[in-house]
Structure 1
Amino acid sequence: MPSFRSKNLTRATLSAGLSVVALSSSAFAQDAAQQSSADSSPGVAEIVVTAQFREQKLQDTPIAITAVDSAMLEARSQSNLTEVANQAPSVVLRPTTAAFGPSISATIRGMGQIDFNPALEPGVGLYIDDVYYPRLTGANFDLLDVERIEVLRGPQGTLTGRNSEGGAIKFISRRPTGEGGGYVSATYGSRNRINLRGSADFKLAEGLFGRLSGTFADQEGYVKNIDYGCANPASGVPTRAGGTNCVVSKQGDVGYKALRGILRYNPSDAVDIMVSGDYNRDSRNNSAEVLLFGSNSNPNVQTSNGVPFDSRFICGTFCNYATTGSTAGTFVAGAIPPLQGLPMPAVSSDGRTEYKGWGVAANADFKLNDDLQLQSITAYREFDTSFSSDTDLSPANIGFGISQLDSWFVSQELRLNAKIGTFADLTVGGYISDEKTTYYTLQDIRYVAIALPTGPLPLFPLQFIGNDPVRSKSKAAFATAIVHPTEALTVTLGGRYTHESKDYTFFRFNLDGKTINGFLDPVGAANGIGYSGPNGTALSGRTGSYAGNKFDYRVSVDYRFSPQILAYGTVSTGFKGGGIAPRPFNAAQAVPFGPEKLTAFELGLKTDLFDRKVRFNVSAYFNKFKDAQLTLLSCPQFGGPGPCAVPQNAGDADVKGVEFELNLRPIEGLQIDASASFLDWNWKCVVPAVVNPAGATSGCSTDPALVSQLVAPPRGVSKSQWSIGAQYEALLGSAGSITPRIDVARQGAIAGTATVPVAGSASARFSTAEAYTLANARLTWRNADKDLDISLEVTNLFNEYYFLSKFDLSGAGAGVVSGLPGRPREWAVSVKKKF
């Protein structure tokens, strides 16, 4: 039986649809000729999208799409991908804490991923000019010289394909035209913020054009990293070198630069070839974090002079006591007395995050005749990144990690588009990709213990190096038919067959990088890398493999009641690939997990009313979600006590939601934009071991006592969000114009744990990233020739204190909860000159 909440969602959707039909009764009388002339009216701008492999008007495409052009991105003071989510219904994109490096968490309609690990798939497809970007690492793209961004909500399994069960985000770059022109802009703002941007379009020869664009960004951080010993001399904690007023560095800083070049060969309508290349570098201090909870009485995690880890290391709203390593010590044994006095070497890093990435792509369109078009998309991309994380944000020695990823990715896609008169549009194609990422990590984890009522009983220290190659391959064949039985009725049929495989090879060494760590891999330490025999199987040298096939389909029917109203209904599927648990702390944790699968049912209504002065779109969906992937932080069923980070297929859920988007242009110069979304997540069954370590590891139980222990919605997902923005361009005659704009956006709360925490526990009190509301304001003067802009912007206008994400290791035994606070109020002045 539908829940009370789901009934409310359905009623809200039906009411919105009936209201639109009522409002538009007078508009029905207008004929198509009147509507086509509306393109020159001062109404909502028409945006052309390519969501279905061909150019279509946004309002003619039966997909829930948020399309944002470059002018709106600039008006909203948005410069990177995560900021775009503020105005996109059901989309949550957020930067992660330092432990996950320069990556983002991404979900659409509750589907996605929060972990950067290359063994895990994103669940939200990211595309740059139709080229798939397979990783969340480095995915907070700068919006450099984009023409528009398309956010496709709902599974795109037959269209964009790979791991796009939640949806897809497509970046479309400005193409060279040979018409010349470009722009330069400069920004100065809070904490010595400097932004420089520029782009130029030029003609090289007849039919050969180029475009070059670049950006530079630099800004001081907003979270102070303070030397604890310096600030608290009575503690006896040794001080570190450097720092004015005990401040070692400022985290949350910006150090970004990027360059992009495009060559376009377009000698005729029959040939259009675009070759692009880009390079970007992100070099900065670690992500801005603060400690929210600290409590661990294990003697092995104390500071070098014996200060225990507790709330004394909570620094404040915008500061921490993080260090760039752990000091040397000797192990205090508990459960295994012979380990008493075992040396624990020091580890260290420079406390910075570095990312370098580059790629090349070739997009070729060949018009074979009036009815046939061949498209080829070829791409190669590399990146390497390094980052570190002081888990406890203090001079204590709970945990410290250093990570490095080196990755390359190559892909090829072919599409053949055919037009069969006015009756149908067809697309058939194929896709292939190959990717290799080597994940190097050094981990110093000293809190491993058996939890007893009297306190933690130390088990063993974990100081190890992993250097794991991951190889992923994918092949697919797809087809889409868009059929027009009548002028008003369209039926879309799509299918995609995918075969994918993944190999993950494990290595677990001591800090010398040569000998095998005996705590993590006793079989390998005794018998050598790759050993498999009577004594067991070594973890080091073992390759875990996953392979699977999946067929996705999409059936959509849309009907245009009038030039102003389109209604559609869709049934579609999607999936996110499986793999092998990538962070085993013993051989038993190197277990596989399968793909998660989604079947989605959606109804939508798209309208342009009153000579396109009102655009109102609404969509409602019902998702049948199976085999959801969740990461276990406690798993004695896989090898006994100790750390755990094992992804498993946790259960099934029903997800219902409704989304609204409104654009108003009531009078010339005035623009009002609003959006809202609501999501209702209901777990239907759970694999018992996910919530009860003594439970079965297979089978899905509907026992309410078990099901109710899963957090709904899961981590990375928000139940509700809304936004509203308005601007008015006041004309000043020969003095140009002035445009004030205000944007207000509400982001819902996001859980910090996979299972419902115990009441009163640290997780219950601190791990949820609470809901927040942000307001941004911008004032722009533009000269009469519209080639010079001067803007003043203020972001986080009311100086809201909020958290973008949190990292909870209290349930894993570390006794730590940390958070990434959002940026405080900032101002900036920008000057932009077009030529």
Structure 2
Amino acid sequence: MASAMLAYPAAAQDASDQTAAVAADQDARANSADSNEIVVTAQFRNQNLQDVPIAITAVTGEQLEQKGASTLADLGGSAPNVVLRQAPATYGPAVVAYIRGVGQRDTNFALEPGVGLYIDDVYLPTLHGSMLNLIDLDRVEILRGPQGTLAGQNSIGGAIKLYSKKPDDSNSGFVDVTYGSYNEIQAKAAANFSLVPGHLYARISAAALSKDGYITRYDYACTHPGTTIPTAATGNGCKLGTEGGKKYVAGRLAVRWEPTPDITVDVAGDVTRDDSEPGPTTLLYVGRPAAPGTVLTGPTTTGPSAAAYKLNGNSYGNATGSPFISYSPYGDYAQDTFSHSPYTSYEDYTDHAPRDGSPVYMAPLKAAINSWGVGGTIAARLSDNLNLTSITAYRHFDGIYSSGEGSPFSNTLQTNWVSHHQFSEELRLNAKLGDLLNATLGGYYLDKDSFNPTRIVLTTLNFTGNNSAPSKTKAAFLNVELTPFDNLTLIGGVRYTDIKKSYTFGRGGIPGSASGGKVPPSLAGIDGTVGTYAGKRWDYRGVIQYRFTDHLMVYGEYSTGFKAGGINPRPFFVQQELPFGPETLAAWEGGLKSQFFDNKARLNLSGFINNYKDMLITVANCPLSGAPAAPCALPLNAGNARVKGFEAELNLYPVEGFSIDASLAYLNFKYTSISAAAANSGIGLEDRGIYISPWQWSVGAQYRIDLGGVGSLTPRIDVSHEDSFERNPDNVDAATGNKDLFGLVAGRTLVNARLSYQTADDDWEVALEVRNLTDKLYYTDVFDNRGSTNSIQGSPGEPRTWAVSVRRKF
């Protein structure tokens, strides 16, 4: 998705700052002269970050530029206990989002995100297109912990809220042009216009990007003459193309009308055309254990015995030169003497000899999404102490993406077409009674419909799909803040949610196949069936908040959240068409927010214990009566777990122009009980939670060097670390305690640097940035497909890249 300001519901505007009454609602501390203050709207009104009893990471648009953050995934490294990574190509152009161990990696429309993503207070109910570019933003707020009573849609793990810059009367703007590695050419621009002074303003924004992919695809037959593997070369030498390339154009127009001092109307429309390449993928491993239950103990420097690993009954030698040991029928295949690099692939997206006798099939080389939307916000001051806000938005997108396993044999090849439209409406009534009471009463409605035609190639199955997933959500919420005594605030929140959704399965055969295009027998009983889910839920929040001084506040909180149930959207056999229930979370949290050294230092701490019930996981092995255990991609309620940890965020401003920001986080996961269904799929109390990085830390520093009348120079460096994590739910052998390291995503420490020069009047800026300064080889994720195609694919992160930008403000 092209940009947060453009591609997704940049349609609605943040209502809480649209009237003078709400703005005046800020605490005296929020009106201080502290230039480092950040104002957030997590509790439906403008508040200083230090006054809000919620664990929040808040970053301004200026800070995003200084950090060189360009996509949503870039925010994960600096927000404690937050995992934001590009999803494997199998799931399309999306971000994997987890907060405190709660989230969702699968983009299928039948599954709810565990972390709520909002653009200008409009909820995005799908992970498709969630890899947003961060352009023309006012700020980003990352709220950790359940947000069941404080967000438009219930968000069990937390919420990520992006807010676009609003039209005003400044008659200002900017133009920004960038050139960098992999032929990156990017242009961004925005401008404000005062159409009717004092009443009508507009802001127009645009962005475009073209960048080559960093994974090079080669034709195996071309690089290895004499092989029996079919060629896919088309006269362009041995190079077939790349993966990971980006290409999009987007535009947005926002209009703000203030007919009276008491009414503000915001209307915005946007359009995006994204024609990017498939996500970066390389083949890491081919093979599977010789006996069921055997645990893969690699990768190691030497690897386990090759005889222990077989594919279709044949053992293979190991490849060399890879950080993973690869057992492959192609010899040194994953990284051989020709392509001795972790950034190469032999994927040609072509099924040269379909196993069902159908014609040769080539998947589109796409990870593309086109979208448009329109929406509006009306904020009205009904009286000095009463405000009404309406947020209305309509969104539509359609797209296509393909993925394979990295080999020219196309043991797995998928093409997904996606289409989605949604209408949402949110009403809020804000009331204030002096310093005693702040209250918000609201209602929320979401009506969405999603479609997912597919073509799937597996080792044992070739078929087409045509699935639909309509859903409706109705909710009401109330949040009350009561301050009976100075410095003591009691907060209570409640939310009622009613969700109804269905999933219609369409299954078909391949035209021209040996079966005459008939549905494969194992899928025939699935075609045309409908799975439904209906659930009603109450969620609660209670907070005790006490301010010892103007610069020290502590709080204790209890909150709940849930994620709706549904039905398995990927049954390969009738027996796998099974429903799953909702998962729930009850969280205890305590925190401290402080400022000291004359507001030159800010330290925020939080500790939490989450009781996770009926947690949802997806297993790749599901022994069911009358059906093979694999292929399988079955969501099920695995049982209960306890997740606990702490977070610390520090900001220092020791002298003028010098700033340091740092964070530290710890996370611990432990199953407390396992369901019968999970145990049947090999999950046990010994297994670790997925996407749980025990330790995370980050530190960044910059210093603005005044050059007098010549201008200023600002160097900045950012270092971030995330421990390794498991992406497979069955990751520890119960008998031996050995870890399945092939499902382990290794830890990483990344370094980014930026040097910028500004003219004395700040009208011009030239910046040089280098990302992944140490050229670290790391993987953002892996996709373990041993259960069906006996392979594992990795998603390498970008190697070292550089970019030069020139910005002109006016």
Establish whether TM, by shorter chain, passes 0.5. yes
Q: CA deviation at 1:516?
A: 4.7
Structure (1/2) with the larger helix percentage: 1
Instruction: Provide closer, same or farther for how the CA distance between residues 278 and 224 of structure 1 changes in structure 2, counting only shifts above 3 A.
Output: same
1:684 equivalent to 2:686? Answer: no
Q: Which moved more, 1:182-191 or 1:684-693?
A: 684-693
**Contact (CA 8 Å) 1:713, 1:719: kept in 2 or not?**
no
Name the SS of the counterpart of 2:599 in structure 1: coil
Q: CA deviation at 1:501?
A: 1.1
1:432 to 421, 445, 459: 445
Q: Which residue of 1 aligns with 2:563?
A: 576
Q: Which residue of 1 aligns with 2:190?
A: 199
Count residues with an aligned counterpart: 741
Name the SS of the counterpart of 1:276 in structure 2: strand
Q: Which residue of 1 aligns with 2:343?
A: 318
1:475 equivalent to 2:474? Answer: yes
Structure 2 letter corresponding to 1:313: Y
Q: Which residue of 1 aligns with 2:485?
A: 486
Q: Which residue of 2 aligns with 1:518?
A: 520
Q: Which residue of 2 aligns with 1:501?
A: 500
Q: Which residue of 1 aligns with 2:703?
A: 728
Q: CA deviation at 1:110?
A: 0.7
CA separation in 1, counterparts of 2:736 and 2:788? Answer: 16
Structure 1 letter corresponding to 2:449: K
1:219 equivalent to 2:211? Answer: yes
Q: Which residue of 2 aligns with 1:663?
A: 651
Q: CA deviation at 1:268?
A: 3.1
CA separation in 1, counterparts of 2:220 and 2:742? Answer: 23
2:780 to 796, 804, 822: 804
Structure 1 letter corresponding to 2:362: S
Q: CA deviation at 1:757?
A: 4.9
Structure 1 gaps, min length 5: 1-33, 331-341, 447-460, 523-537, 696-705
Instruction: Provide closer, same or farther for how the CA distance between residues 763 and 406 of structure 1 changes in structure 2, counting only shifts above 3 A.
Output: farther
Q: Which residue of 1 aligns with 2:770?
A: 794
Name the SS of the counterpart of 1:86 in structure 2: helix
Structure 1 letter corresponding to 2:667: L
Q: Which moved more, 1:242-251 or 1:544-553?
A: 242-251
Q: Which residue of 1 aligns with 2:228?
A: 236
Instruction: Provide closer, same or farther for how the CA distance between residues 35 and 591 of structure 1 changes in structure 2, counting only shifts above 3 A.
Output: closer
Q: Which residue of 2 aligns with 1:785?
A: 761
Name the SS of the counterpart of 1:218 in structure 2: strand
Q: Which residue of 1 aligns with 2:576?
A: 589
1:190 equivalent to 2:215? Answer: no
Q: Which residue of 1 aligns with 2:684?
A: 707
CA separation in 2, counterparts of 1:243 and 1:724? Answer: 49
1:541 to 514, 528, 540: 528
Instruction: Provide closer, same or farther for how the CA distance between residues 286 and 638 of structure 1 changes in structure 2, counting only shifts above 3 A.
Output: farther
Q: Which residue of 1 aligns with 2:280?
A: 288
CA separation in 1, counterparts of 2:747 and 2:605? Answer: 24
Q: Which residue of 2 aligns with 1:108?
A: 99
Q: Which residue of 2 aligns with 1:96?
A: 87
**Contact (CA 8 Å) 2:765, 2:807: kept in 1 or not?**
yes
**Contact (CA 8 Å) 1:691, 1:709: kept in 2 or not?**
no
**Contact (CA 8 Å) 1:243, 1:249: kept in 2 or not?**
no
- Which contiguous aligned blocks of 4+ residues in structure 1 show a shift greater than 4 angstroms? 34-38, 299-302, 513-516, 757-763
CA separation in 2, counterparts of 1:623 and 1:266? Answer: 45
CA separation in 2, counterparts of 1:640 and 1:312? Answer: 35
Instruction: Provide closer, same or farther for how the CA distance between residues 38 and 736 of structure 1 changes in structure 2, counting only shifts above 3 A.
Output: farther
Q: CA deviation at 1:521?
A: 3.0
CA separation in 2, counterparts of 1:276 and 1:781? Answer: 34
CA separation in 1, counterparts of 2:218 and 2:616? Answer: 38
CA separation in 2, counterparts of 1:655 and 1:385? Answer: 37
Q: CA deviation at 1:241?
A: 2.9
**Contact (CA 8 Å) 1:300, 1:397: kept in 2 or not?**
no
CA separation in 1, counterparts of 2:272 and 2:743? Answer: 33
Aligned pairs (5 A) from 1:370-519: 370-391=384-405, 393-446=406-459, 461-512=460-511, 516-519=518-521
2:587 to 600, 612, 616: 600
Q: CA deviation at 1:388?
A: 1.0
CA separation in 1, counterparts of 2:463 and 2:329? Answer: 23
Q: Which residue of 1 aligns with 2:793?
A: 818
1:553 equivalent to 2:540? Answer: yes
Instruction: Provide closer, same or farther for how the CA distance between residues 654 and 308 of structure 1 changes in structure 2, counting only shifts above 3 A.
Output: closer
CA separation in 2, counterparts of 1:214 and 1:766? Answer: 43
Structure 2 letter corresponding to 1:732: L
Q: CA deviation at 1:552?
A: 0.4
CA separation in 2, counterparts of 1:232 and 1:428? Answer: 68
Q: CA deviation at 1:813?
A: 3.8
1:260 to 252, 265, 289: 252
Name the SS of the counterpart of 1:234 in structure 2: coil
CA separation in 2, counterparts of 1:757 and 1:490? Answer: 46
Q: Which residue of 1 aligns with 2:33?
A: 40
Name the SS of the counterpart of 2:595 in structure 1: strand
Q: CA deviation at 1:520?
A: 2.4
Instruction: Provide closer, same or farther for how the CA distance between residues 235 and 168 of structure 1 changes in structure 2, counting only shifts above 3 A.
Output: same
Per-residue CA deviation, residues 59-101 of structure 1 (Å, 9 max, x unaligned), is: 1111111110011100001111110111111110111121111
Instruction: Provide closer, same or farther for how the CA distance between residues 626 and 782 of structure 1 changes in structure 2, counting only shifts above 3 A.
Output: same
Structure 2 letter corresponding to 1:770: A
Aligned pairs (5 A) from 1:130-141: 130-141=121-132
Aligned pairs (5 A) from 1:750-761: 750-758=725-733
Q: Which residue of 1 aligns with 2:47?
A: 56
1:367 to 378, 381, 386: 381
Structure 2 letter corresponding to 1:723: S
Q: Which residue of 1 aligns with 2:16?
A: none
CA separation in 2, counterparts of 1:427 and 1:602? Answer: 23
Q: Which residue of 2 aligns with 1:156?
A: 147
**Contact (CA 8 Å) 2:110, 2:503: kept in 1 or not?**
yes
1:145 equivalent to 2:169? Answer: no
Q: Which moved more, 1:288-297 or 1:52-61?
A: 288-297
Instruction: Provide closer, same or farther for how the CA distance between residues 542 and 656 of structure 1 changes in structure 2, counting only shifts above 3 A.
Output: same
CA separation in 2, counterparts of 1:257 and 1:66? Answer: 30
Instruction: Provide closer, same or farther for how the CA distance between residues 833 and 189 of structure 1 changes in structure 2, counting only shifts above 3 A.
Output: same
CA separation in 2, counterparts of 1:753 and 1:262? Answer: 44
CA separation in 2, counterparts of 1:462 and 1:761? Answer: 34
Name the SS of the counterpart of 1:230 in structure 2: helix
Name the SS of the counterpart of 1:258 in structure 2: strand
Q: Which moved more, 1:641-650 or 1:288-297?
A: 288-297
Q: Which residue of 2 aligns with 1:9?
A: none
Structure 1 letter corresponding to 2:33: S
Q: CA deviation at 1:39?
A: 3.8
1:764 equivalent to 2:740? Answer: yes
**Contact (CA 8 Å) 1:215, 1:257: kept in 2 or not?**
yes
CA separation in 2, counterparts of 1:738 and 1:93? Answer: 31
Q: CA deviation at 1:279?
A: 1.7
CA separation in 2, counterparts of 1:638 and 1:805? Answer: 33
**Contact (CA 8 Å) 2:671, 2:686: kept in 1 or not?**
no
CA separation in 1, counterparts of 2:493 and 2:30? Answer: 33
CA separation in 2, counterparts of 1:543 and 1:36? Answer: 55
- Percent pairwise identity: 41
Name the SS of the counterpart of 2:182 in structure 1: helix
Q: CA deviation at 1:784?
A: 0.7
**Contact (CA 8 Å) 2:54, 2:143: kept in 1 or not?**
yes
**Contact (CA 8 Å) 1:38, 1:612: kept in 2 or not?**
no
CA separation in 2, counterparts of 1:329 and 1:707? Answer: 38
CA separation in 1, counterparts of 2:517 and 2:564? Answer: 33
1:672 equivalent to 2:660? Answer: yes
TM-score by length of 1: 0.86
Q: CA deviation at 1:329?
A: 4.8
**Contact (CA 8 Å) 1:598, 1:626: kept in 2 or not?**
yes
**Contact (CA 8 Å) 2:636, 2:677: kept in 1 or not?**
no
Instruction: Provide closer, same or farther for how the CA distance between residues 95 and 763 of structure 1 changes in structure 2, counting only shifts above 3 A.
Output: farther
Instruction: Provide closer, same or farther for how the CA distance between residues 128 and 638 of structure 1 changes in structure 2, counting only shifts above 3 A.
Output: farther
**Contact (CA 8 Å) 1:775, 1:795: kept in 2 or not?**
yes
